[in-house]
Structure 1
Amino acid sequence: MPNPKGNPENLKPIKSDREEPLTEYLHLRVTKEMKEELKAKDDPPEFCRQAIQEKLDRDK
């Protein structure tokens, strides 16, 4: 029978080796095709972060 209070391992904070911690959330809508292409990437969240950062750097 599963533990009704959940797995205590899930309560531990995620460790990161980044210079700046990822503390904020960003939600956006994409087309179905975009979502499917993103899901096919090895690391979709990191791919999105890099794409956003590249565009932000270009706009400076």
Structure 2
Amino acid sequence: MSNPKGKPENFGNQESRELTDNLSFRVTKEMKDAVKAKDDPSEFCRRAIQKALDEESG
């Protein structure tokens, strides 16, 4: 059985944009704890990164 968490459609993103790549970086313990406390930590990070990229380019 496949992992349902690995399907892009489970993340609310556009079907044409597959979530195939990984990104990792170091954070403080406090940052990690705060992110992990979110209902959907991965989606929170994706939205935060996209927001920062949009602000930088606009």
Structure 2 gaps, min length 5: none
SS at match of 1:59: helix
The residue type equivalent to 1:36 in the other structure is: D
For 1:52 and 1:35, the matched residues in 2 are separated by 15
Deviations along 1:10-49, one digit per CA (max 9) or x if unpaired, are xx36433232110100011000000110111000000000
Percent same amino acid at aligned positions?
52
Runs of 4+, deviation exceeding 4 Å: none
Please, what TM-score do these two structures have when normalized by structure 2? 0.76
Structure 1 gaps, min length 5: 1-8
Please point out which of 25, 48, 53 is paired with 2:45.
Answer: 48
RMSD of aligned residue pairs (Cα, Å): 1.4
Please, what TM-score do these two structures have when normalized by structure 1? 0.74
Q: Which has the higher contact order (CA 8 A, sep 6+)?
A: 2
Aligned length: 50
